[in-house]
Structure 1
Amino acid sequence: MQFRAITLSDIPEASYLTAANASRYRAIMRIFYLESQKANIRLNKQQLLALLRSDSHFTQYTAEELEQDLSALCQWRNLVPIQDPHRPGSIAEYKNKQFSYSMSQAATEIERMTLSLESLNLRTAVLSSQLFERILDTVDRMSALSIQNSDAISQSWDLLQQDFRQLTNRYQDYLRDFYSSQAEHILQTSEFLPYKDKVIRYLQEFVLELQRHAEKIRRILLCLPDERIAQILEQVYAAQKREGEGRLIQRDDNYDQQLRDQVYGFWNSFYHWFVPTENSQSDSQHVLDLANDIIQRILMNAELILQAHSGGANRKNEYKKFLELFSACPTLADAHRLSGMVFGAQQAVHLTGINAETIYETDPCLDAQPFLYPLRNRRRPGRPPREKSFFSDKGLEKAAQRQTYLQQKQELHNQLQRLIRNGRLDFASVEEPVSPQVRQTLLSWVVKANANASKRARTEYGQIYTITCPQGQTCVLPCTDGNLTMPAYCLVFEEAHSHG
C-alpha cells in the first residue's frame, strides 16, 4: 500500500481538542459551528464574548483571554480572520485593526466529528433492509439511463454513494457492537433472555433481505458490459469535476487524478461488495456469515443460561433436604457416612479383575476363590517378544465390494436414463415411483443448474442439460418412500439419447 504525503502529515486543525486550554477552545469552536448553522458565518470579538459570557462557565472570561484564544485558533488554521472593511476614524482604531472570524472547512468537519462522538453512545446501529431496496433501485435506474443524461446519472451516483456508505457504516457498527467485550457480558446474563427472540428475528429478517437483494444487485452488475461501466464512470467524473470547479476552494496540482481515483475507487469497492472475486468471497457473503455466526452465538448462550438456571432450580429442593439431614446427624461419624452416601467416596479404590458373575453371590467372601492376576514387567527390555504376523490378503473381498458398487452405480444410471424421454426429463410426467437414490440425484441436478447463471450444467455421466420451469407451476414426484411436491422442472439434455 502506498501512502500519500498528505496522509502522513499532521493535522494542526485538531490541536485545539487536546491543548492545555481545550475547554475554552472547544467552547469557541462550538459557538462558531452553531452560529454557522443559523447562517451567521462571521463573528467579531464583541459578539463572541457576549455569547460566551451567557454561559455560567464563562462569566469571568475576559477580552484579553479571548484575544489569546482567537490568536491560537487562527495559528492552527481553525479560524480565518477577516479585517473589518470600514475605514478607521482614529489612529487607535487603525492600530487595533478590528477583525471578524469564520470557521475553516477543516474545522467545520472536525466539529461535526466531535458532535458525532458526543452522541456515539446514544446512537443505535440499525440494519435497515430499505437501504438494499434503494441501492437496487438506483443501480437499476443507472443502468437504464442514457449516456447523454449526465445530470440524472450524477444524481443517481450521489444517492448510491450516500446509501452504500450508510449501509457499510451501519453494519460495521452493529457487528462491532456484537463482537465487543461488553456484548460478550450481556449475552451471558439472564437479562438478555427476554430480548433474545426479538434480536434473532431482527437478524433473520436482515439476512433474508440481504440474500434476496444482494443476489439481484449482483446479477445487474454482472450484466453490465465493461464499456457501459466505463461510460457511466466517465460521466460521473465529468459531472463531479464541473461541480468542483464551481466551489471556491484551493486545489492541488493532481486534483483531477485524485477525483478520478475517488470515483473509480468507490465503484470498485461497491462492485466487489456484491460480486465475488476469483480468490475471495464478496463482502456481502462475509456479512451474511457473520450475521449467521451471531445468531448461533445468541442461541448457544441462551441455551447455556437456561440449562444453568433450570439445573439450579431442579436441585434446590434436593439441597434443602440434604442440609436437613446433615443438621440432624448426632455425631461427626454419622455426617461422614451421610457424606459418602450423598457425594460418594472421597478416596475411591478401583479393583480390576473381579468376575462379574461372582459379585452378587450370597456366600461369605472368605469362601470365595481367589482371583489370580498376572503382573507383567512394564519395562521395554523385560517384555516378552510379540509374535510376528503378516497382513492377510483381502484382494477378493475388495474386488467383490468394487463389483457390487459398480453394479449399484450402473443400476442407478439405468433408472435415470429410463426417465429421459426424447432428450427431456419432465418431472411432471414421471409416473413410476423412484427410489431415494434416484430422487437425490435428480435434486442434485436441479440444484447444480439453478446455481449457474446460465441455467446449464453437466451430469456426472457427462451429459449437458438446461433446466426450465414454468412460472408458478408445481408437480408431484412419486417416490417409494412418499410423494414430493416441487416446482415443475424440466431438464433438456443437449446430448442425451432418447429413451422409451
Structure 2
Amino acid sequence: MNHRLIMQSLRKVPELSYVNAENVARYRAIMRFFYQEYQRLRYWMKPAEVYEGVRLLGVLQGYTLEQCHADLDKLVEWKNLTVRHDGGRATTIEEYMRKKYQYSLTPYSIEIERLLETLESVTGYGGSLEPTLFDTIAEDLFEVRNKVDMFEPGEALELWERLYQSFVRLHENSADYIASLQTVHAETMMMTEEFLVFKERLRDYLQNFMQALQHRSYKIEDSLLHISRQMRKRFLACVAEDAINKPRIEEMPSKEELIEEYERGWENLHRWFVGAGDEPSESMLLDQATKEAIARIVHCARRIQERKRQGLSRRQELDYLAKWFYSIDDMDEAHRLAAYTYGLFATRHLQGEDRRESDRSDMSMWEEIPTTRSIRSRSRKRISGHKREYVRDQRERRQMLKQEILAQQQEERALLEEMLRLGRVRIDGLGMMTAKNRLRLLQWIGRCMATSSKSFRTPEGMIVSLKFPSPKQEAVLRCEDGVLTLPNYELRFVMESSLFAFKEAAVTAENE
C-alpha cells in the first residue's frame, strides 16, 4: 500500500460529525430524508423541499425554515452534502433575496446512512452457513486455472468480483453465525426445554456445512496450489485492465495500485484455505469451531433430557413390576420378564491369555479352559491385608525395544541412502516394494505436503522435497501386499552439504 492510500485511510472523517453533534436529531432527520429521496432516484433537493419533508416526519417540534437553512450549511461544511446553484427563475421575493441552491448527498454520506439503516435492524450476530459458496469458489478458481489470460474484455473482472465476493460472504457469514452460538443468549436458550424442539435441525444444519467444508475445501486448496505466481499475476493484470477500461466519472487509481489491491485480496483467499507458513488455515479453524458447536449442542440436549428424567417418579411403575414378578411361579418365565425389562447388562472386558487346546470350530466356549484373573475391589474402605506389588524389572524389555527401534532406523537409513544415490525418483519408476518401505514412502510424501515448502530435513541432514505431477497423471505402486494407485509424485533427495555447495558455486559463478 503506497503512502497516499495510507494517509487517506488514516485521515479525519468530518462526515461523521453530524452523528454525534449537539443538534443530532435535526441533522439525522435531514440526512434520513435525503437518503429516502435518494432511494427514490431524486438526487437534488431545494431547501423548501427539505424543510417540508423533515416537517412531515413529525419528530421536530417548532422547526423553522431558517433553522433548516443553517443546518444545510453546516452539513455542507462537514462534507455530508454537496451544493450547486439553482439556475431557475425566482417565484417569490424571498427566493430572489436568498441565493437559490440545491443540495445532494455525497458518496460518503450515502454509505454512512446505509450503514446506520443496517445497524437499526441488527439484533444479534446474524450470519449463515452457505455450503453452495464452496462450489462457486471452486468453479471460479478452476476457470482461472484453465484460462489464465485468455479472457474476453470484461470477463476477468466479472470472474474476480464473483470469486472474491463469494469468499468475503463465506468468511463473514460463517464467522458471524458461529459467534452467535457463543453468546449469553444462546447459552441461556440451550438450557431451556424449548431448545429440544429445533436441536435436530440446528445439528443437521451444522453437520451439512461441516461436510461441505471438509469435502470441497480440498478441491479449492488444490486449485490454489496449482495456480503459480506467474499465472496469478497474468490473471490479476487482466482484471486491472478490465477495471481501467470500465468508464468511471470518479478518479481511478493506477493499474499498479489496482494490482496491488487485488494481490492483497488473493493473499487473503490463499491464507484462508491453505494457511501461511506453520499457521493453520482459517478453514481448519472454522471446521474445529463447527465441531465444537455440534458437540456443545448435543451435550446441552443430553443434559436437558437427564434433568427431565430425574424429576419423574417411577414408583407406580416399579410397584406394578414388583407385583408382576411376585405372581410368576416359573423361573424361566421370570428370566424372560427380566430380560424384556432390563435388557442386557453392561459388559465387562476381562484381560487374559487365550490358551486353546483344540482347533475345533464347533467347540463351545463353556468347554474352554478358564482363565483366572484377580479383580481388585472397588470399595472405598481401606483393605488392611492387601497384597504388596513390587517394582518389576523392565531392563530386558527396554533393551529388546531399543534393538527393534535401531533395526527400523537402520532399514530407513538404508532406504534413504539408496534414494540419495538415485537423486530423484518418480512413483512410476519404483519397482516392487515391501510393505515397510511403502509406509515410509507415504510418510515422506505426507511430511512434504504438510509444509509450505513441500520439503523436510531428516536427522542425517538430507533434504527430501516433493514435486506435484500434472493434473490427472497417476501411477501404480506395486507392493508385496497389494497394488496402490496414487498421483505420480516426484521425490528429490539431496544432502544439505551438497545443497550448500551447489548454492555457493552458483553465487560464485554469478559474481564472476
TM-score calculated relative to the size of structure 1: 0.64
How far apart are residue 29 of structure 1 and its match? 1.4
| Cα distance, 1:172–1:400 mapped onto 2, change above 3 Å | closer
CA distance in 2, matches of 1:257, 1:226: 16
Query: 1:145 touches 1:153 (CA, 8 Å); kept in 2?
Result: no
Aligned with 2:38 (options 36, 39, 46):
36
Query: 1:186 touches 1:192 (CA, 8 Å); kept in 2?
Result: yes
Aligned to 1:202: 205
Partner SS state of residue 275, structure 2:
coil
Aligned with 1:141 (options 143, 153, 161):
143
CA distance in 2, matches of 1:493, 1:260: 34
Q: Which blocks of at least 5 consecutive residues in structure 2 are unaligned?
A: 318-380, 412-429, 457-461, 475-480, 492-512
Correspondences of 1:257-296 after superposition (within 5 Å): 258-296=257-295
Correspondences of 1:171-210 after superposition (within 5 Å): 171-210=174-213
Aligned to 2:312: 313
Aligned to 2:296: 297
Q: Which blocks of at least 5 consecutive residues in structure 1 are unaligned?
A: 319-351, 357-390, 415-421, 427-437, 472-477, 479-486, 496-500
CA distance in 2, matches of 1:198, 1:259: 44
| Cα distance, 1:260–1:94 mapped onto 2, change above 3 Å | farther
Correspondences of 1:328-339 after superposition (within 5 Å): none
Aligned to 1:398: 395
CA distance in 1, matches of 2:270, 2:35: 37
Query: 2:199 touches 2:297 (CA, 8 Å); kept in 1?
Result: yes
Aligned with 1:112 (options 114, 133, 136):
114
Partner SS state of residue 100, structure 1:
strand
How far apart are residue 83 of structure 1 and its match? 1.0
Aligned to 1:249: 250
How far apart are residue 25 of structure 1 and its match? 1.9
| Cα distance, 1:191–1:446 mapped onto 2, change above 3 Å | farther
CA distance in 2, matches of 1:309, 1:493: 58
CA distance in 1, matches of 2:157, 2:128: 28
Query: 1:187 touches 1:298 (CA, 8 Å); kept in 2?
Result: yes
TM-score calculated relative to the size of structure 2: 0.63
Aligned to 1:157: 160
Aligned with 1:95 (options 94, 97, 113):
97
CA distance in 1, matches of 2:244, 2:81: 28
1:43-97 CA distances to partner (integer Å, 9 max, x unpaired)? 1122223323333335753212221221221121111111102356898645301
Aligned to 1:343: none
1:236-266 CA distances to partner (integer Å, 9 max, x unpaired)? 22322343xx333357xx7666434321111
Query: 2:124 touches 2:180 (CA, 8 Å); kept in 1?
Result: no
1:129-148 CA distances to partner (integer Å, 9 max, x unpaired)? 11111111111112222525
**What letter corresponds to residue 276 of structure 1 in structure 2?**
G
**What letter corresponds to residue 157 of structure 1 in structure 2?**
W
How far apart are residue 354 of structure 1 and its match? 9.9
1:15-66 CA distances to partner (integer Å, 9 max, x unpaired)? 2222233222222212211211222111112222332333333575321222
Query: 1:470 touches 1:489 (CA, 8 Å); kept in 2?
Result: no
Aligned to 2:225: 222
% identical aligned pairs: 25
CA distance in 1, matches of 2:299, 2:432: 47
CA distance in 2, matches of 1:52, 1:77: 20
Structure with larger Rg = 1
Aligned pairs, number = 391
Partner SS state of residue 43, structure 1:
coil
| Cα distance, 1:18–1:400 mapped onto 2, change above 3 Å | closer
CA RMSD of aligned residues (A): 4.8
Query: 1:80 touches 1:103 (CA, 8 Å); kept in 2?
Result: yes
Correspondences of 1:235-246 after superposition (within 5 Å): 235-243=238-246, 246=247
CA distance in 2, matches of 1:289, 1:410: 39
